[in-house]
Chains A and B, each alone.
Chain A
């Protein structure tokens, strides 16, 4: 892979056009700036939802129930879910790091459709604003849970229509980003960048983009039907009119289960970039990881009804979807084995991104294996809609996607801002984060096994001790998050200047200056080998 010396172009952070400051950022078509626009907006939403989660935990310390009513509690868990899922976890890694790094990783100057890329961000913001508006207008914040299950979502007087419309708009943002990434990977790879020379992050983004493009319209149509049903009573999902509420669940999960893979695949891609760099050796099983991304995207689209095992589906469907669910664990396990094998006999350089990548693997394994448990019908029936489910999906979503996002942020931070953070501060933030995370979410799984149902405002006395433990865990977790982002914010403004390649990485982003120049490369590089060749680098 050819390397490039310093470039004469200015950094992308410098305003070079006629527009300056905020206007320049809001009208930019540069993929790196759009990536940062997503990052800043998503982190804002993330902390709002964290705050809501914090209040929800406080409610379980019963003294706080004087402040929060049961109806408000229903609104809180709905809004927490809607913000976290639609505004943070689903768009998270692809929109931030996909936008910023995909063109750089394949040796391109930008994405295929830069203006469409900016339009995607505006769709995202429009959806987000509508979602926030739905809290304070109409009949008040939606109280259905983020799944908007019919027939309750058709009947409730709260502001479901606007919230559903917000999700509809957010879907457009997701689809447009998907189209952009697919086209970029097909059309803008540098000369010599064959498919199997692409970094694995690109494979992950490619498979994610296909799911975004193919699955999101199903959600969009389903949500449009909910709106039509609420306004015109067309009777598709309403059993009182001969409709089928289970059809809603099917259609919702046909999108929303693949959406889990939209969330986790780019996270897996980022981990596949981080591990070789800090093990100083090529990734083990490159093709197996690349193909497992595609097979997760494929098989993962066929397992949706395992979210509906207690809904009253037919026995045939129960058995079929249970079997398919077991199968999807195979490509996920392939990735984990390959990551661990990459570390085996590697020359480990233990740095903050590796710490968070290893944390991802540990927590994702707990989330994944408890998912396989729930794929088994007999277990699922007992723990369905309990705190066990809540604990499990937080292990996958937060322990998986969240930790990978943090790992990716730490890994690419020096490249994105040209600054280096305090490694000591990051290590210090990890301890409360890790301890608090496990107290909170493992505690929830124990509560679920004990029989505590999810989404309940009150609990029986026998659950109280575990509720206290999980709530204290949430405080540790939030403390860790504040320390983590505090350290990064400090580094953006006051951090030391970072080297162009502080980790000794060998993919294309490490061959250009930090922060990257406006058009990424002085001249488009010619690729002559695969992405992870450390031996040849003499490392």
Chain B
């Protein structure tokens, strides 16, 4: 198999992209839905669904799925750092 063909085999077809797009649309609908259920539900909905959406975009549209382990680790470390910052911020906001 040529290098080009190998590279192409690693990548998904349009079907996958369309499926991910539909999932993203459904998640956006869910976000709009939970925003009508009160502030607490809206905040938790945002905090869980938005990272999920961003994750799908990263993983498929931005090809993180097909990258080597180093780049995946870098992204995980970044996310871990962000979570630490969130946790520290919430030590104030959640208990104020």
Contacts and interface: CB of A to CB of B under 8 A. Distances in A.
Interface of A: 246, 250, 254, 302, 305, 312-317, 320-321
B89 interface: yes
B88 A313 contact: no
Candidate in A305, A312, A316, A317 with the most chain B CB atoms within 10 angstroms: A317
A250 B89 CA distance: 8
Contacts of B70: none
B14 interface: no
Contact of B88 (A305, A312, A315): A305
B91 A316 contact: yes
Candidate in B92, B93, B94, B96 with the most chain A CB atoms within 10 angstroms: B92
A293 to B, nearest CB: 18
Nearest to A251: B89
A254 B89 CA distance: 10
A320 B85 CA distance: 13
Contact of B96 (A254, A305, A313, A320): A313
Contacts of A320: 88, 91
Interface residues of B, number: 10
Interface string B69-96: 0000000000000001100110111111
B84 A314 contact: no
B85 A314 contact: no
Contact of A250 (B84, B92, B94, B95): B92
The B interface, classified by DSSP as helix, strand, loop or mixed, is helix
Given A313-B96, A314-B96, A302 B88 contact: yes
A222 B80 CA distance: 21
A314 B92 contact: yes
Contacts of A313: 92, 96
A246 B89 CA distance: 10
Contact of A302 (B84, B93, B95, B96): B84
Nearest to B89: A250
Interface of B: 84-85, 88-89, 91-96
Q: Which 5 A-B pairs have the closest CB atoms?
A: A314-B95, A317-B92, A316-B95, A314-B96, A317-B91
23 contacts: A246-B92, A250-B92, A254-B85, A302-B84, A302-B88, A305-B92, A312-B96, A314-B91, A314-B93, A314-B94, A314-B95, A314-B96, A315-B95, A316-B91, A316-B92, A316-B95, A317-B91, A317-B92, A317-B95, A317-B96, A320-B88, A320-B91, A321-B88
A249 to B, nearest CB: 10
Contacts of B96: 312-314, 317
A302 B89 CA distance: 10
B73 to A, nearest CB: 16
A231 B29 CA distance: 32
Contacts of A305: 88, 92
Nearest to B87: A320
Contacts of B94: 314, 316
Nearest to A312: B96
Given A250-B89, A321-B88, 19 more contacts: A254-B85, A302-B88, A305-B92, A312-B96, A313-B92, A314-B92, A314-B93, A314-B94, A314-B96, A315-B95, A316-B91, A316-B92, A316-B94, A316-B95, A317-B88, A317-B92, A317-B95, A317-B96, A321-B91
A316 B95 CA distance: 7
Nearest to A324: B88
A250 B92 CA distance: 10
Contacts of B91: 314, 316-317, 320-321
A292 B68 CA distance: 31
Contacts of B93: 314
A246 B92 CA distance: 10
Contacts of B84: 302
Contacts of B92: 246, 250, 305, 313-314, 316-317
B94 to A, nearest CB: 7
Contacts of A316: 91-92, 94-95
